[in-house]
Amino acid sequence: MYTYTSRTRSLLSLTTLLLITPTIGLAQTAVESPAPVVAPAPVVAPAPVVAPAPVVAPAPVVAPAPVVAPAPVAKSIDHSPVIAKVGNQQLTLTQLDGLIKAELEQAAQEYKQKLYEVRSQAIDEYISDEALKLELAQSSHQDIKSLFDAEVMSKVTPVTDAEVNLFYAENKERIGEASAEEVKPQIKGFLTQQKSREAVQSFVQETRLKYKARNLLEPPRVKVEALGFSKGPNDAPITIIEFADYECGYCSRAMESVESVMKKYPGKIRLVYRDYPLNFHPNATPAAIAARCAGAQGKFWEMHIKLFENQSQLTTENFITWAQELGLDLPKYEACARDPKVNEAIQADLKAGSAVGVSGTPAFFVNGISLSGAQPPEAFVQIIERELSRLQK
């Protein structure tokens, strides 16, 4: 849009000063005796003539700026290939991408994450191998196998009967009707392998630390809003955002890992829970409503734990029972459970999760770094340690 300006011309009028000339008069007296001669009045000099003020030239008239016509809007020409035809109608690749924009963005995010995971795994293998080579060079052993045999395997303690019996008791439901004696050899073999694997991992990690081996590949980060019930300091250096489903068995296991790392890093982690009820879990949304309505009375995490600990008993009757056990105001709780806004908030979480690439549960974002599935505490620790180190620089 163009703005036009104009100027006005001001003229100064010329003022002429009048020249004023005084009149000379003589005084006369009556004749009785000769009167003395009176000297004539002095002649007053005329006022000086004042020169007229100079004439100021008028300001030049500035021509208005020319009107510039707006540039024509170039029409976007779709040069992408035609990928479908139906009668006289056709669909181009650009048009298709516009129709599935959200899905493509999610696929791109998943690709970036997968690319990072593949590269990161390769880097971890590289730095572990190089650190072990340095350790081998400093030792008297001939090869890596002899190094492990001497420094790791020889120090693994044998599995005891008490450990076998404890494992059997904790996993009796999964084992079935077999007695402890019947499955003792299998349990012992499993626990021996587990101990050996943990000892190897510990030795490799210590060796990497000894030689300052680090994976410097920057992970992709996703901007996820930390909306929802949370625990931990608001200014904690680490924020874990969890998308989960109360009917998901993997989510229940993941809860234990999260609790473990929060204990390991007291005051340094803020956990934010967001709902992602899967459509094939009919009790997930009602359970999420129960948790939110308990949260409205300050008991979210207490209800949260009850729901995960009783995943096979997620019924409306039990929600009421647990609400009573938690000392909630039942009329307020029930009114909350009927409020459609609560379900709308759950659906908003579901939509937000899908927008950042969540397609299953549990899904975590540690300072924006994606971590999917029921991960062990070590997976969280690896990211947390790297983030704390980065923030201290």
Average pLDDT, the chain: 85
H or E stretch at 177: none
Give residue-wise pLDDT tens across range 268-321. Answer: 999 999 999 999 999 999 999 999 999 999 999 999 999 999 999 999 999 999
pLDDT of residue 190: 94
Residue whose pair of structure tokens reads 């072990």 in the numeric block: 132
pLDDT at 17 over 70: no
Higher-pLDDT residue of 349, 15: 349
**Lowest-confidence range among 65-79, 136-150, 221-235, 269-283?**
65-79
What is the pLDDT averaged over residues 226-238?
Answer: 96
Instruction: State the pLDDT confidence band at 52, using cuts at 50, 70 and 90.
Output: low
Give residue-wise pLDDT tens across range 143-171. Answer: 999 999 999 999 999 999 999 999 999 89
pLDDT of residue 40: 46
pLDDT of residue 382: 87
Higher-pLDDT residue of 313, 113: 313
Instruction: State the pLDDT confidence band at 327, using cuts at 50, 70 and 90.
Output: very high
pTM reported for the whole predicted model: 0.63
pLDDT of residue 24: 32
Instruction: State the pLDDT confidence band at 130, using cuts at 50, 70 and 90.
Output: very high
- As a whole number of angstroms, the distance between CA 55 and CA 49 comes to 18
The domain limits of the chain are 121-210, 229-392
> Using an 8 Å Cβ cutoff, are 356 and 226 in contact?
no
Pairing relationship of beta strands 363-366 and 269-275 according to DSSP bridges: unpaired
pLDDT of residue 69: 63
Where residue 156 falls (left for φ over 0; alpha for ψ -120 to 50; beta otherwise) is beta
Tokens of 388: 């704390």
Instruction: State the pLDDT confidence band at 57, using cuts at 50, 70 and 90.
Output: low
What is the Cα 309 distance to its own chain's centre?
30
Chosen CATH of 229-392 out of 3.30.750.24, 3.60.110.10, 3.40.30.10, 3.40.640.10: 3.40.30.10
- As a whole number of angstroms, the distance between CA 154 and CA 200 comes to 11
- As a whole number of angstroms, the distance between CA 303 and CA 287 comes to 9
Percent of the chain scoring above 70 in pLDDT: 81
Instruction: State the pLDDT confidence band at 176, using cuts at 50, 70 and 90.
Output: confident
pLDDT of residue 56: 52
